[in-house]
Structure 1
Amino acid sequence: MMRLICAMCLLLVSVGPLAAERRPITHEDLWLMPRVGAPVVSPDGVRVVFPLIEPSYSKDEVVSDLWLVPSDGRESPRRITSGKGGEADPVWSNDSRQVAFTAKRGDDKQSQIYVMDIVRGGEAQRATALSTGAAKPRFSPDGLHLLFVSSVYPSSRNDADNERLAKEEEERKFKARSYTSYPIRDWDKWIDGKQAHLFVQRIGEPAARDLLAGSQLASLPGFALVEDSARWSPDGQAIIFAASRNRNRAAWSFTHDDLWKVSAQGGEPQRLTGVEQLDAADSWSSPRFSRDGRSLFAIVEPRTSNVYNARRIGVFDWPAMRDRGRISLPDAREITDFAIMPDGASVRVFGEDAGQVKLFRSAASGGSAELVGAPEHGIYANPSIGGSQSAVLVATWQSATDPPEVVSIDAGSGVFRRLSNFAGTRLASLDLAQAESFWFANSRDQRIHNLLVRPPGFDPAKKYPLLVLMHGGPYSQWHDEWVLRWNYHLLSASGYVLLLTNYVGSTSQGETFAQAIQRDPLKGPADDVNQAADEAIRRYPFIDASRQCAAGASYGGHLANWLQGTTTRYRCLISHAGLVNLESQWGTSDTSFEREISMGGPVWEQGAVWREQNPIRLAAHFRTPVLVTFGEKDFRVPLNNGLEYWAALQRQRVESKLIVFPDENHWVLSGENSRYFYKEVRDWLQHYLEPAAAAGSRQGDAHRP
């Protein structure tokens, strides 16, 4: 049924229901909205291919296909694949005739690479057949070979070895995980001993060559490939990629990724960046070549004593690797992505600024990028450039009221126009207010950016409860964007004003502002959140100061737990994946050293921050009713923190509810689980934000020492 997206759905909706006829968003609206993936424009700039997911509450009914649209927007997008296994990672050949992508079709036990001739048409042909699968394809410059990634056993030399080792592992009579170095887990997966390697295969031939098999680099205990980083050199003779040599040192040191070069025939990789020693240095990723092959660009994250350092773009002469300098944004704001103009003379950069991601430009020689333009609302992502005489820049655009769509951006002015509008028909019936910005100066004289979302059916004469929503990270920011995890409008649909604060530590105002959170992990940001609520109440007379709740996930959950021990102003709290004990988090999370640096030293030294900014130490003051939710497979904020919080809440007889999702990780990703999560959040808020709620006496401006 999801395949029956009609052509009318792809046309811009010029006339929709009157605002009075529109209705609040439901979970079904949110979950079933088509989801556009990263677009890729053909090298000649004529066509754009992109993945589209048509969701369902049933995993078996989810559809993921590739679509094609002319870059000039003269035709609506059309579906070009229809495999049951779903397609992803599309890339173009240099002649703009073929598209390679990842899919699992027919008798494939693992995802493989398929190639489709866009000009001639016809069915896509399978190009790989590895027992370990294949992903992240890249055409060679001549279009005759494919580069891709597969996770293999480190001791293997070929696919037969991998099949044999997999069979031996399956037939073992014992089940155990054994480790001799750090790390051992990543988000929701145990590190299983396999390594991501690079492979090259001639199209039409069965044998794939493992470029890293037997290399000294891959044998290092700290080796880890950055899987989406590999690119062909301009002459097609080598592969450039990013990889770490010191991941095993993550328990006591910062780690980093270098850029490497390996022959397309295999052999020992040559390091292109960094130092000979394994000490932490600048970290490199996303290498990309200019069209003329004379310049290499890559994202670089400088290494300093700070946990957070804003990303820059490094520029090198190729193949000499002479360092030409860095491209940065004003105030060292965060670079999210970039694309090199076809003439190689300049670069278009996507960068964060006060809740948006805007378009900047810089000369290829380096320096500070200047603003080109920004949409009135929303953010850009996933840039891709094609064309020759004139650049064709495509990307995704989204806002708080618009799910991601494919757009074409004028590289000179920053003005965009839609190439797709899959969500238009459904959106036309929904009452979705634009996110609006305001600023204030906090108690430390820092300017704090905020977004505010009004509820559906808004009446300025009425009084509305305030829901304070805190973002994760902390090195991130609230954007004017469409969100599945904490959808602004679904949370405000019951009649709440939503407040989203980019507190100190957010990346919304540059590097210095973000770094200011170090050694002040919870108190400073929480003070900003509380002050933002006061400021919103002062500015907007329709906010009812007597009815406030606060919620957050991940780092936002950490802040919710800090508020639990430090203020009584909120009628209720919601904490998802939030730590309550920084000390146990240090030892059980999948990362630890950066937490140590943020706190000013190792946990056993018990420095002031460890003692003074740990919510569990404030458990004697826990009073506010709280909904606590966790994914049992979350290794970033493991379940033990949720159980410890729950024990303290029960010990203190605090009104509370614990929900554990056995099959979820750091995020609630299943449709039905998401629907249940939002229902529980809605019910919790409705109970405590009713005017006569028993918890009303808890509101106010009281703060505990």
Structure 2
Amino acid sequence: MMMKRALTAVFLLLLSFGALAADKRTITHEDLWLMPRVGAPTVSPDGRQAVFAVTAPSYKKDESATHLWIVPTDGSAPARRITASKSGESGVAWSPDSRRLAFSAKRGDDKQAQIWILDLAQGGEAQRLTSLSTGAAAPVFSPDGQRVAFTSRVYPSSANDADNERLAKEEEERKYKARVYTGFPIRSWDKWLDEKQTRVFVQPVAGGEARDLLAGSALVKLPGFALSDEGGVWTPDGKALVFAASRNRDRAAWSFTNSDLWQVGADGGEPRRLTGREAADAADSYGSPRFGGDGRTLFASLTPRSDRVYNATRLVALEWPSLRERGRIELPDGRSVAGFDPAPNGREIYLTAEDAGQEALYRGSAGGGVAKRIAVPERGLYTGVSVGGARAPVILATYESATEPPEIVRLDPGGAPARRLTAFAAAKAAALDLAPAEHFWFDNARGQRIHSMLVRPPGFDPAKKYPLLVLMHGGPHTMWRDQWVLRWNYHLLGAQGYVVLLTNYVGSTGFGERFAQAIQGDPLKGPADDINAAADEAIRRYAFIDGDRQCAGGASYGGHLANWLQGTTTRYRCLVSHAGLVNLESQWGTSDIAYSREVGNGGPVWEQGPVWREQNPIRLAAQFKTPVLVTFGERDFRVPLNNGLEYWAALQRQQVESRLIVFPDENHWVLGGENSRFFYKEVADWLKRWLGPAEAKAAGSAAAPAA
């Protein structure tokens, strides 16, 4: 009798879930693209308020709008918008008294973005602070609130803005157009590198000229100088700034490069190096300097240098001003720090890190040691952590999951449930039939634990058999996350009735440093073996998957893997490859990064070690048989178009049914609204052609074996 009641309860529960799903509809591209996009919060020093950006997207680029919003951190009132200009704002910073905001924006007749200051206490419109011909970004108030430091990209020989205006005019009036280089790198993502360099400036809030703190210094004259775009932070006494910069970027063709921490006086002068060795050889890399609330500790990210391509980021705590190392903050199992912010007391620091498809909040000590995980969402991620408060820490972050677009939440340092402070997209997402990501693990043939997530299609019926779409993430040193994704949205890709499988193959982050490093010397075969094994495991575990109907796809490194599968298996009915290399050798010579590929593959390409010969997809072209959709951005310099053209030539030579799409205005990603809509439609049409819709088979019937 009790068993009968239990079965009846389960049946009723399933019926209720079915009724809820029936009230919801399948996601469309319009749902995804037009969903409000909430940015990371910045908490005020007093901890009472937080400011963040919200984008109202549009398919028309000129009609998208990004504005700043403010919300009380105690949840006592809803968020309210505080800017209304047509252009968006970025790089928001609070004044020490929590009364004013500085941000970068292009307003009115500005040709370049400038620094603006909004007085929240006084009200009214924001007032422009800077008027540099080269623009301004990354503002930060001095401890007394009387000055603002920021960055600007200027000509190397310039000493002031008049110089920059003159040099820009000379460049514009040249009768020839040519790019000239004497070192490496020369490109980055979708841009050719020019001769300009980022420098740190200071300007009084009350008015006056901006001062270039690095003008004329020996540091900026080094051919390998490159300052981090995040700019600098003020020292507690307001007499200097600390920033991260490289002095060996020009060695990137034959060596790893690194960044050190530097200090420069608020009136300028020659910067003093605070970290690293005397020689400019690559060593540990430091970045993101931040002072603890007590002004006695300087925290910074630290990525050690080793013979491995991948090394997890730690944190280092330095006594200020002695610079004696107090300790290094590690994460369990060698996970990598994603974001961090010091506590008001200066003795603790809050940080986030990837953890098996999620991102959790940790607390570390300035004395060093392993940070303790204190908050992990039931599903999804906490990212963009920001800490304020005069005494007790007020911790805000962004929360999101595969079914929930990003919103602002307040986290409790004691581990109590997070409190949601915003709901910009919640109602729209709730109307959609979005199945949560399901996690499972298995052991691969090498004895490594492999993590996967599975997403069921809309209108899921356990009595049906569904095709399997295997997605492969890029990187490789990233991971599939329980996250609201714009570019490869799990639910939109599976909307036609496909089960979506997301596997974190060997080399993925979020599973410890050793796991991420294990891909070195085995860039394609090992990860692809994990992909295929995960598909087998999913088919074995889930009776509703039709093992006879599988397709696989990915972008960037995921595209590399798709091209490797093209030459090594016929199990997939079709493939989708975006920005995927087909030739390791030409990728080494044409990408915007080269040396790390050489190290990862076991030596220079001309030595023709085993990886270059045995794990190069183009060498397997005789086995190319699977129909494939190939897409590329013409402005992609990370995986340049030549790899797409090589792949296309091989596919045509082998008479493989295929389709090539090149986006002239896109880079490594497809970022334009209409281009994105077209991309998703092309993928949907391609998958439907080879997989078809879900079929109403009994879930217990045997599936045809995979080829």
Superposed pair shares fold, TM > 0.5: yes
Letter aligned with residue 463 of structure 2: A
In structure 1, how many angstroms separate the alpha carbons of the residues matched to 2:648 and 2:361? Answer: 45
1:299 paired to 2:301: yes
- Tell me by how many angstroms 1:360 deviates: 1.2
- Tell me by how many angstroms 1:701 deviates: 4.0
Match of 1:311 in 2: 313
Selected match of 1:534 from 533, 536, 539: 536
- Tell me by how many angstroms 1:248 deviates: 0.4
In structure 1, how many angstroms separate the alpha carbons of the residues matched to 2:694 and 2:33? Answer: 33
Contact 1:501 1:532 in 2 (8 A): yes
- Tell me by how many angstroms 1:17 deviates: 9.3
Contact 1:129 1:206 in 2 (8 A): no
TM-score (ref. length: structure 1): 0.96
Cα deviation, 1:634-693, whole Å, max 9, x if unaligned, reads 000000000000000000000000000000000101000000000000000000002799
- Tell me by how many angstroms 1:206 deviates: 3.4
Letter aligned with residue 304 of structure 1: S
1:458 paired to 2:460: yes
Letter aligned with residue 192 of structure 2: W
Letter aligned with residue 450 of structure 2: I
TM-score (ref. length: structure 2): 0.95
Cα deviation, 1:22-58, whole Å, max 9, x if unaligned, reads 0111000000011111211111011111111100001
Match of 2:492 in 1: 490
In structure 1, how many angstroms separate the alpha carbons of the residues matched to 2:200 and 2:375? Answer: 38
In structure 2, how many angstroms separate the alpha carbons of the residues matched to 1:389 and 1:553? Answer: 46
1:33 paired to 2:31: no
Selected match of 1:577 from 560, 579, 598: 579
- Tell me by how many angstroms 1:341 deviates: 1.3
Cα deviation, 1:72-107, whole Å, max 9, x if unaligned, reads 111111100001112122110000000011111111
1:656 paired to 2:627: no
Match of 1:400 in 2: 402
Contact 1:568 1:700 in 2 (8 A): no
Match of 2:502 in 1: 500
1:346 paired to 2:363: no
Match of 1:628 in 2: 630
In structure 1, how many angstroms separate the alpha carbons of the residues matched to 2:391 and 2:77? Answer: 22
Match of 2:334 in 1: 332
In structure 2, how many angstroms separate the alpha carbons of the residues matched to 1:349 and 1:205? Answer: 37
1:80 paired to 2:107: no
Cα deviation, 1:419-472, whole Å, max 9, x if unaligned, reads 111002211210001001000000001000001000000011110000000000
Contact 1:35 1:404 in 2 (8 A): yes
Unmatched 5+ residue regions in structure 1? 1-15, 694-698
In structure 2, how many angstroms separate the alpha carbons of the residues matched to 1:414 and 1:531? Answer: 38
In structure 2, how many angstroms separate the alpha carbons of the residues matched to 1:199 and 1:101? Answer: 15
1:152-163 correspondence to structure 2 within 5 Å = 152-163=154-165
In structure 1, how many angstroms separate the alpha carbons of the residues matched to 2:156 and 2:345? Answer: 41
1:257-406 correspondence to structure 2 within 5 Å = 257-406=259-408
In structure 2, how many angstroms separate the alpha carbons of the residues matched to 1:285 and 1:414? Answer: 31
Selected match of 2:109 from 97, 107, 110: 107
Contact 2:353 2:510 in 1 (8 A): no
Match of 1:617 in 2: 619
Match of 2:63 in 1: 61
Unmatched 5+ residue regions in structure 2? 1-17, 696-703
In structure 1, how many angstroms separate the alpha carbons of the residues matched to 2:291 and 2:541? Answer: 50
In structure 1, how many angstroms separate the alpha carbons of the residues matched to 2:20 and 2:419? Answer: 24
Letter aligned with residue 427 of structure 2: T
In structure 1, how many angstroms separate the alpha carbons of the residues matched to 2:293 and 2:354? Answer: 26
1:555 paired to 2:557: yes
In structure 1, how many angstroms separate the alpha carbons of the residues matched to 2:353 and 2:535? Answer: 27
In structure 1, how many angstroms separate the alpha carbons of the residues matched to 2:421 and 2:48? Answer: 13
Letter aligned with residue 466 of structure 1: L
- Name the Cα RMSD after superposition: 1.4
Query: What secondary structure is seen at the aligned counterpart in 2 of 1:617?
Result: helix
In structure 2, how many angstroms separate the alpha carbons of the residues matched to 1:148 and 1:288? Answer: 15
In structure 2, how many angstroms separate the alpha carbons of the residues matched to 1:485 and 1:157? Answer: 42
Contact 1:199 1:210 in 2 (8 A): yes
In structure 1, how many angstroms separate the alpha carbons of the residues matched to 2:496 and 2:607? Answer: 47
Letter aligned with residue 415 of structure 1: P
Match of 1:643 in 2: 645
Query: What secondary structure is seen at the aligned counterpart in 2 of 1:227?
Result: strand
- Tell me by how many angstroms 1:535 deviates: 0.0
Q: 1:383 to 1:691 in 2, by over 3 A?
A: closer
Query: What secondary structure is seen at the aligned counterpart in 2 of 1:327?
Result: strand
Contact 2:200 2:231 in 1 (8 A): no
Letter aligned with residue 194 of structure 1: K
In structure 2, how many angstroms separate the alpha carbons of the residues matched to 1:239 and 1:415? Answer: 38
Contact 1:65 1:88 in 2 (8 A): no
- Tell me by how many angstroms 1:117 deviates: 0.7
Identity %: 68
Selected match of 1:678 from 659, 677, 680: 680
- Tell me by how many angstroms 1:245 deviates: 0.4
In structure 2, how many angstroms separate the alpha carbons of the residues matched to 1:405 and 1:192? Answer: 37
Match of 1:471 in 2: 473
Letter aligned with residue 515 of structure 1: Q
Selected match of 2:47 from 38, 45, 48: 45
Contact 2:406 2:484 in 1 (8 A): yes
Match of 1:696 in 2: none
Contact 2:385 2:397 in 1 (8 A): yes
Letter aligned with residue 634 of structure 2: E
- Tell me by how many angstroms 1:414 deviates: 5.5
Contact 2:360 2:375 in 1 (8 A): yes
- Tell me by how many angstroms 1:229 deviates: 4.2
- Tell me by how many angstroms 1:371 deviates: 1.4
In structure 2, how many angstroms separate the alpha carbons of the residues matched to 1:232 and 1:700? Answer: 63
Letter aligned with residue 591 of structure 2: S
Match of 2:425 in 1: 423
Match of 1:249 in 2: 251
In structure 2, how many angstroms separate the alpha carbons of the residues matched to 1:191 and 1:700? Answer: 51
Letter aligned with residue 85 of structure 1: S
In structure 2, how many angstroms separate the alpha carbons of the residues matched to 1:473 and 1:427? Answer: 28
Match of 2:8 in 1: none
Query: What secondary structure is seen at the aligned counterpart in 2 of 1:640?
Result: helix
Contact 2:228 2:243 in 1 (8 A): yes
Q: 1:167 to 1:700 in 2, by over 3 A?
A: farther
In structure 2, how many angstroms separate the alpha carbons of the residues matched to 1:307 and 1:604? Answer: 20
In structure 2, how many angstroms separate the alpha carbons of the residues matched to 1:430 and 1:229? Answer: 41
Query: What secondary structure is seen at the aligned counterpart in 2 of 1:249?
Result: coil
Contact 2:138 2:231 in 1 (8 A): no
Contact 2:150 2:231 in 1 (8 A): no
Query: What secondary structure is seen at the aligned counterpart in 1 of 2:329?
Result: strand
Match of 1:139 in 2: 141
Q: 1:163 to 1:200 in 2, by over 3 A?
A: same
